[in-house]
Structure 1
Amino acid sequence: MFDGTQRRIVSMWFPRLASDRARRRQPVDGPFALIQRQGSADRIYCLTTEAEDHGLHRGMAATDARAFCRSLLTRPADPEADYRALHLLRRWATRYCPWVGIEGADGLVLDITGAAHLAGGEAAMLADMRQRLTGAGYALRLGLADTRGAAWALAHHGPVDGVPPIAPPGDALAALGRLPVAALRLEDRMTATLERLGLRSIGDLAGAARAPLNRRFGPDLLLRLDQALGQQPEQISPLVDPPHYATRMTLPEPIGLTSDVMAVLQRLLDRLCETMKRHETGARMLHLTLRRVDRDSQQIALRLAAPLRDPVRILPLFQRSVDEVDAGFGIDQMRLEAVQTDALPARQLGGETVADAARLDDLMTRIGTRIGLENIRRFLPADSHIPERGFISVAAAHSTASPKWSCHGQRPLHIFPPEPVTASGSEPPQRFRWRRMSLSLARATGPERIAPEWWAEHQDWHRGLRDYWRIETMQGRRLWMFHTPQNPGWFVHGEFP
């Protein structure tokens, strides 16, 4: 309540939200339905009134629906798009009041306490809502009452046509008495049991003894009844729009010099970084849009190697791209947006480690603007004792260096697919040929036995066990060779520098 004003709640229900959204995007004539895979069959997810007139209903098998209505048009359902559409409608509904929440998958709830007079009264506000949304192609049911439960009941079970139902202030039972008990948002099994007992309406339920109802159905039934009648509170939790990290500047006179563009960009960066600092976030991708006086626009995309909100470090990274901009007859508007952000909590400044990491991130960003951040790779250790599988290559901008590289033995810097050599025996050969070179043994260190991973298949390890040796030759080559005892043979697997 606000200063003693009676609380007033509006419930918006979009009974055909999914099909209305789909038809708004791509209009169709005639019976139409959205299909969703449920179990092993395609079933109707949402449908239009034209399809219902042919005897179709939600949950009906798609094959049966097409048998009933040969002219039925169908499309795959997209619940994620419906969810986004509902959130867009929620943002639109804030034109009437600031307190707007989501009600299930197809409804909104608005706390219009103290705001109805701005639209000419409650009836005028509901009429405006209905006119605007039906004009936009959405089927809409409305209800207005003192409580969230009562407004939901009127929207879902009130009159379908005509003036939207409005419950008088302070007397919700007068408006809800004739509605079915299902209007209390009860489970289907509980509703069916109440109807078998003769309690078919909310008025019947309100006049019944409470103790027997509580013993048989538990506290949930009476809680829903009390919430609808205003005897128990029920909160509305409005959703907060996520922060939008964007700023722009319209210039009184067109500019074309690089120095002028960089000066305006610095002011935009100061604003944007201050906003990100308040939310403890950092930009990973920035878009700078430059609008020319001829209404043509150019966009500069800057991908950062790490989350960043320091304008002093970001500004020089734009220099190379700004130098290549064609200003034409001048630029009269600039817009800067952080299209991708990551959490960047406050941390202690200073220290060589932090400074070194910052310089490395800036270096990767500069190189990434030329060759792409995804092409800058780093090696990370992998959980495998197989030499060629003991590391992975990942994008450096989306990973952190690992200080723990564990290795049971010395490994060569250069590893390549095993190459056979002309040698025999289980001991390192005194003389052998490799890559058309005749080599002589100077010193051998080993062996180090490595077994294949039995839980994984490796085509290169079909020979089984390997005994690795570090071989130094008289000719100066330092090779990493192995012998396969099960299937005798010698191979070179790598070379030391």
Structure 2
Amino acid sequence: MRWLALCCRLDAPADDADALAWLALSFTPRVARLEEAVVAEVSASLRLFGGARALRGKLQADAELVGLALGAMAWAPTALAALALARCHSPPQQGRLGERLDALPLAALSAAQAHHAMLARLGCQRLGELRRLPRPALAKRFGPALLTALDRAYGDLPEVHGWLTLPERFSARLELPYRVEHAPVLLHFAETLLRQLCAFLAARHAGVRALRLGWQHDAMRARDVADGGELTVATADTTRDLRRLTRLLAEHLGRTTLAAPAGEISLSADSVLPLEETSAGLLPGPTDPQERTTTNALLERLSVRLGSAQVREGRLHEDHRLAEMQRWQAWPAPPALAVRAPPGPQPTWLVEPPQPLRCDAQEQPLYAGPLARISGPHRIEAGWWEGRGRLQTRDYFVYRSAARGLLWVYHERFPDATGSASEWFLHGVFA
């Protein structure tokens, strides 16, 4: 077996260990918490990730992406031995497991550290010296737990672990160390929960498009103030980018006012979506996925700063009338349904309002000289369901002008009891 012990840095929040355990689940399903560390049995994953060195480098890179402060790491055939080696600043790298453990101080093993004062008076400073003491007397003096821990670390007894599993949905809470009166200050504590969320998403190979940050008001709030509040943060696409989520949450909190001081916050993501993994391109260009993500992140911040109604995007709408083929919605708009392609050519630029055209003696349109018909007519009779004022009865043509290029022209028909009158209009220009 090949065990990897992972420790967070000493200055990292205590909750980061849970996030680190979730991140380790993206490499192996056999992950457990062992005291202050996370241990993972990765012997079955080494070939998949290209060896121990490659797996370690990948784990460090993923931890950096989700904002985790990864500390010491160590390999060993047993979980307790890996933890003991990780606790030491410069553990032995060569030799058999027993020889490496013998050179470690007593503090490397928690069961031995608990009796450090008594063992020091007996002249024991290292695990090897402790192991050479008579076992019956050692068990009688310090109890069987010390011998059990030694045997499990050296591989003489099997280890028992409770494997960690991922919950179906993410929900985490954090009690604040002091009362927070201003919403932007909550971001400092919310970053801890965001790191847990990103590690959770990495283990599921997924992302989110919305998350919810809630807070509970202090018990000393006014009577007319609710128990708490919350805000929802939405993204334009599925993501688990910690920096992007942090910046977006900061924009929202900067425009939020707390009704009373907050004493606790919570973060939840009800909907977890598969994250489409794309390969990076050799050269940057329009197909670079990072370019689209950067643009979406910028638009998200602009939408918060300027208001959702000020940032809009056009969506295709299935309609025969050109003016109704596109709808402008607040960005980001919900995913659109598939729309059939228009039956005829569509101009690059619209002329709004349509420009009336003169006609020659043969009732053919003129625009900077005579026009040559390229295609048409394409007849449109639509909008009757919205009332007579919205009815369009037109024949569209593509004409070529020697001076202005390809033009999109329609012939308006007005049927009535006495006959039909007609007019020609310029409605678009092809680039």
Q: Tell me the TM-score normalised to structure 1 length.
A: 0.39
